[in-house]
Amino acid sequence: MQSFSDLTGSFESRFTSSLPFPDQPTALYEPCSYLLHLGGKRVRPVLCLMACELFDAIGDDAWYAANAIELFHNFTLIHDDIMDKAPLRRGQPTLHHKYGMTAGILCGDVMCIYAYEQLAHVRKNLPQVIQLFNKTAIEVCEGQQMDMDFETRNDVSIEEYLTMITLKTSVLLACSLKIGALTGGALGDNARKLYDFGKNMGIAFQLQDDLLDAFGDTAKLGKQNGGDIRANKKTYLLLKAQENATGDQKAQIAQLLATDAGNQKVADMLALYTATGADKACRDAMTHYADLAFANLEDVAIPTVRKEPLRELARYLLVRDK
Amino acid sequence: MQSFSDLTGSFESRFTSSLPFPDQPTALYEPCSYLLHLGGKRVRPVLCLMACELFDAIGDDAWYAANAIELFHNFTLIHDDIMDKAPLRRGQPTLHHKYGMTAGILCGDVMCIYAYEQLAHVRKNLPQVIQLFNKTAIEVCEGQQMDMDFETRNDVSIEEYLTMITLKTSVLLACSLKIGALTGGALGDNARKLYDFGKNMGIAFQLQDDLLDAFGDTAKLGKQNGGDIRANKKTYLLLKAQENATGDQKAQIAQLLATDAGNQKVADMLALYTATGADKACRDAMTHYADLAFANLEDVAIPTVRKEPLRELARYLLVRDK
């Protein structure tokens, strides 16, 4: 069994060089290459490879599927960055900021299609693999749309928020694991358990992200904390604080949301998150989904020792301070 | 054998109602539905159905493939309209003009994914069908990029122009025919011949489009003629005129390109197209590719009578005044 860092290294060293991008048109493929070389944690393709290795040696099918998943993820990043008007990604200019909006749209499109091109090389269980990939890709778009809708809505429920992060983030992690398992020849029940593991881990990961953005240490995060608060982003913490707040607290939250971004706004909102118990509720929810995830992994019917790399990765994603 | 208009009617009546779009999120699916209900000639899916019927009765595989092709085509229209900043499509507001740019990007994305979702239902020859679809989809993106690149280039050759229209327009027509043939169980050689038929027909169609835009009758076109000239668009006519022009004519063309759009600009440029022989060259090229297309169709090894609907459609597309 290979560790998370072993597999990340192996994936990184073959990923971009294994892609069949031609040289021309340069204005299409150079930006694609730029983005793919910005790096990233490569969590999704490595989950795919690890899930395969639970059941069989990692073969061509798993490598192609891992490429497809990482390409799809990067396609969504390119288009999300346009929609979010984001200037930076991994400390570098976003693709559309560097190459323009037309390039952003078209490079995203062609990267999505290359994801399918790579996926079509999978031989084992191809129809099942493609159907899951399609279902997931549609869900990711729906999650992104919900996230956009939330920006202008004032009646978002916690349940809707959990649905949104499930669609936008978790299902692709779950899909990566299940497709990896399918390329390794896993039987239905084990593949489903891994899917659930990924889904619950993804929800826990996003809640952890909300907590770190609010309460994390600026030095460790590598960015100022409170970014979500400054942007009035509807996170679990804000929604829960609004739900739990007394009349006075509700008014204070509403007033803070109307206040310009600044350190005082962050400090005051954090105090309200604590006073309303939203921080504890978010930590509890995070622990709940993390526990579910680890239980799903236990349920996969293979020797425990083989699951250690996945358990290690889950701990790395869920027990973190940045 | 069903005629073009029969099959257009059948496709139209089942297309949108057969798509598995859910209701939610409304902001994602309502714009998709809006665009798909704007109509269009549905040439590509009908080519797919016709090609299937050359070899076998039209079954589920062909219907799914036809849906996939029409969805893919509409996805490219949505994103092209954003890149071209087009306000109108089929006389109605373009999707991004009506619903905003975020909707334009995300609805295009999800429509592309639904194209793959529909395609994945094909049972016969699925790997071959998906591989051709992927190759074609990549080529369409490359053609769009070349078209964008041409806007700011002054050294575009006729050969590059033909490559661009082949990628942007023809290969999807060719792919529609070949996939239809594959769902009908066609053997390799016949499927290839139909692909070539579609490719040459597509090139002839685009050259005809260039001619009509320049010399067509405004009343019959339903739009003012000379749109390409007003926009300084690099068409076969302009490139050929520049290639054939004497020193004086070259200067006149350059001067006209620097002139504001107006009826005089159109009239003067048309006179130069005629004086340089560009109009005749374009008509000759159009006839050349049309002849190739009809010869490709003749070469398909099935009884001539069965090909009549496709021949009729080709005549409709190539011998037209609007």
Tokens representing A292 are: 């579910």
In this prediction, residue B272 carries a pLDDT of: 97
Q: By percentage, how much of chain B surpasses pLDDT 90?
A: 91
In this prediction, residue A218 carries a pLDDT of: 75
- Whether the CB-CB separation of A81 and A94 falls below 8 Å is answered with yes
In this prediction, residue B218 carries a pLDDT of: 75
Distance, C-alpha B59 to centroid of its chain? 25
Give the bridge partners for B257, in sequence order: none
Contact status of B108 with chain A (Cβ, < 8 Å):
yes
- State the alpha helices, DSSP H only, in A120-187: 126-151, 158-165, 171-183
Are A106 and B112 inside 8 Å of each other by CB?
Answer: no
- State the alpha helices, DSSP H only, in B54-169: 60-83, 95-99, 101-119, 126-151, 158-165
Tokens representing A174 are: 């779950």
Exposure string over A134-165, b if 16+ CB within 10 A, otherwise e:
bebbbbbbbbbbbbbbbeeeeebeeebbbbbb
CA distance B206 to chain A (A): 21
Round to the nearest angstrom and report the end-to-end CA distance of chain B.
27
Residue type for position A119: L
In this prediction, residue A266 carries a pLDDT of: 95
Cα gap A22→A30, rounded to integer Å: 10
Contact status of A137 with chain B (Cβ, < 8 Å):
yes
In this prediction, residue B97 carries a pLDDT of: 96
Cα gap A189→A200, rounded to integer Å: 17
Contact status of A20 with chain B (Cβ, < 8 Å):
no
Q: Could you tell me the pLDDT band of residue A223, with boundaries at 50, 70 and 90?
A: confident
Nearest CB among B28, B135, B145 relative to A27 is that of B145
Round to the nearest angstrom and report the end-to-end CA distance of chain A.
27
In this prediction, residue B189 carries a pLDDT of: 95
Q: What is the mean pLDDT of residues A159-175?
A: 98
A25: preceding bond cis by omega (within 30 degrees): yes
In this prediction, residue B224 carries a pLDDT of: 78
Q: What is the mean pLDDT of residues A241-270?
A: 95
Contact status of B83 with chain A (Cβ, < 8 Å):
yes
Cα gap B252→A105, rounded to integer Å: 37
In this prediction, residue A224 carries a pLDDT of: 78
- Whether the CB-CB separation of A78 and A95 falls below 8 Å is answered with yes
